[in-house]
Structure 1
Amino acid sequence: MGRGSSNHTIILIFVVVLLAQLDAALVHGQATRVGFYSKTCPRVESIVRSTVQTHFRSNLTIAPGLLRMHFHDCFVHGCDASILIDGANTEKTAPPNSLLRGYEVIDDAKAKLEAACPGVVSCADILALAARDSVFVTKGSSWQVPTGRRDGRISLASDTSNLPGFRDSVDVQKQKFAEKGLDTKDLVALVGGHTIGTAACQFFRYRLYNFTTSGNDADPTIDPTFLPQLRALCPQNDDGTRRVGLDTGSQNRFDSSFFNNLRNSHGVLESDQKLWIDASTRTFVQRFLGVRGFSVEFGRSMVKMSNVDVKTGTEGEIRKICSAIN
């Protein structure tokens, strides 16, 4: 075989490999890219960040609300802002989403972006950027967010059944994450987002009283010295709406103390505490006890999750307002 034929063969192999990588990228939602709006709406990131900062100054619950909203959005139909759509029986009305907060921040950012560059920036991208900025304003690390998502047109409350639940075993949690292409490390890192925010007593009070229906007993995985504190915050006769920090002592700061609390049996949600009990997830909890290790992996897992089943190109639409399909 001559040198020319050999070169052509090498080039052909390179093209085939490149096309295969491109196909794989599209399948895994990697058609997004950093700087997607660099020419069409260059101020998009600064507008979203300043909007998040403004709302956060007057309401600290905005940050964990936006972070969780993005998470809940990505687990249903992919990261397509379907959680933002108003209406009867939409995702927003489903029980797992009933207490989410921060919708007004997305609406505010969208209005500003429509004024600056109408019809260009998707609500899905705004939500992805706002989730990143929520970590930033709570003193966490920042990361580059690939953009280019388009908005979905379907939002059904019945499709939220695959969202991770507060009673899920580790095996169930791993299965739900694996269905989205996320591994065990991603699971532990992303649950680490609970380092900011609170949970209503209704989601964990069963752990504090009559856990086994044999008396006034509690979940034995709760540190006995921590139990009185939780019971004081969530009395047995309370209606369940009181809220308790998921990361005791550091609920407004994005750091690794959440994992220290799991190690000390101070996890508030049963599903969170199980990450320390199960050997397969404890390995990663131990790894994330250091602030730097956790912040780096959290950013990576967020980028990975934010590309789950995204709509790009001609799929979906760019909504004019985030709460309604065009």
Structure 2
Amino acid sequence: MRWFLLTVFLLNLLHLADIAATFIPKQQPLMGRVLPKAKAAPVLPPSAFLSTTYYLKSCPNLESIIHQKVNAWVQKDSTLAASIIRLHFHDCAVRGCDASILLNHPGSERSAEASRTLRGFTLIDDIKAEVERQCPKTVSCADILTAAARDATLLVGGPFWEVPFGRKDGKFSIAKEANNVPQGHENVTSLLKFFDKMGLTFVDLVVLSGAHTIGRCNCYSIQQRLYNFNGTGKPDPSLNINYLNSLRKQCRLSSNYVNLDVTTPKTFDVAYYTNLGKKLGLLSTDQLLYSDSRTRSLVDLMASQPEFFIGQFAVSMVKLGNTNVLTGKKQGEVRQNCNYVNY
């Protein structure tokens, strides 16, 4: 009897298995099947590999070193703040933020005509020397220059922003590339195209131009506006007549310097934008931002909304500092001396 029941049980199991099989689709053999293509992993931009905690363990005192050095130098010479910001821009504008502007050899960006008025190299060298003493072969010159520009901005009343680190230093620097950096006489279309190549927008153009609220310019750069604008033999008609006469007195020698912001040259504020509405822009590229319909409304916005300008300046400076950075192990190096590539 037991054997009979066991046999019936087993037959029922086999019957259920046959029924189940009719509801389960048969697997096709691999050969001849077209498998769906796996989705390619998204390619991240180099800036995605930067991090505010990059040196947290390898050089924990880095930001303190940079801030103390920048503060000491700016206390001695307040004009250095604007110079460091400008040096950072010139670096990022050529080959990205890779410290190529710091390389000092014949034919380098630093030797170009467009770079002849750049300053702040000694300050960066001073920072690098101390960083190498405390954290040898660890921190790139590109990261130092980027953070120094932030601290320089902060020391003259500008905003603070977190600087993501992890840039590598470039090994190439070519003078003719540096001569493509805007020199203060380009039209707005040319400026927009230049910024677009850097991955920056018209908003970034107007906002970063606001750095001219501090700093100076040599008279050589504006001589044409004062006497022979565009070969007409006359001064630039977009210059306020009283301002024109004042500039002519200050610029009797082309080697003299004048303030970029005629009203509050040592304060990081929106007076730069207010001045443009009064025809008090020193460089023609500044004044054209107000003349051009594509940028004028934004100039007016900055002039009327100081808090918006301060906040957006920080955003645009982060974008600038992330321009075409080198982050891969084979893309660049960490220079031991900012003036020379490693041997």
Give the alignment's TM-score, normalised by structure 1: 0.90
- Counterpart of 1:317 in structure 2 is 333
| CA-CA distance at 1:177 after TM superposition | 0.3
In 2, Cα distance between equivalents of 1:208 and 1:162: 24
Query: Quick check: 2:225–2:236 contact (8 Å CA) kept in 1?
Result: yes
Contact 1:30 1:307 in 2 (8 A): no
Q: Does structure 2 retain, via aligned residues, the 8 Å contact 1:91–1:97?
A: yes
**Residue 297 of structure 1: aligned partner:** 312
**Residue 16 (structure 1) shift:** 6.1
Q: How does 1:112-151 map to 2 (within 5 A)?
A: 112-151=130-169
Q: Name the SS of the counterpart of 1:158 in structure 2.
A: helix
Provide the C-alpha distance between the structure 2 equivalents of 1:213 and 1:179, rounded to a whole number of angstroms.
30
C-alpha displacement of 1:226: 1.7
Q: Distance in 2 between matches of 1:54 and 1:82?
A: 25
Tell me the alpha carbon deviations over residues 296-316 of structure 1, each in whole angstroms, 9 at most, x when there is no partner: 111111111111110013020
1:74 aligned residue (69, 92, 108):
92
Percent sequence identity is 39
**Superposition pairs for residues 200-215 of structure 1, below 5 Å?**
200-211=218-229, 215=233
Rounded Cα–Cα distance in structure 1 between residues aligned with 2:297 and 2:263: 24
Match of 1:64 among 72, 82, 103: 82
Which residue type is aligned with residue 318 of structure 1?
V
Aligned residues: 303
Residue deviations 1:251-302 (CA, integer Å, cap 9, x gap): 2221111111111110000111100000111121112113211111111111
Task: Say if 2:256 is the partner of 1:242.
Answer: yes
Give the one of 256, 278, 298 matched to 1:264: 278
Spell out structure 1 runs of 4+ moving beyond 4 A.
212-215
Residue correspondence of structure 1 range 269-280 to structure 2 within 5 A: 269-280=283-294
**Greater Cα offset, 285-294 or 182-191:** 285-294
Match of 2:22 in 1: none
Flag the structure with larger Rg: 2
Aligned partners of 2:242, 2:294: CA distance in 1, in Å?
Answer: 27
CA drift at 1:30: 2.9
Task: Measure, in 2, the Cα distance between the counterparts of 1:214 and 1:42.
Answer: 58
Letter matched to residue 124 of structure 1? A
| 1:199 correspondence with 2:214 | no
In structure 2, which of residues 215, 239, 246 is the aligned counterpart of residue 222 of structure 1? 239
C-alpha deviation, 1:214, in angstroms? 5.3
Which residue does the alignment assign to 1:8? Answer: none
Query: Which 5+ residue runs of structure 2 have no aligned equivalent?
Result: 1-37
**Which amino acid is the alignment partner of residue 305 of structure 1?**
L
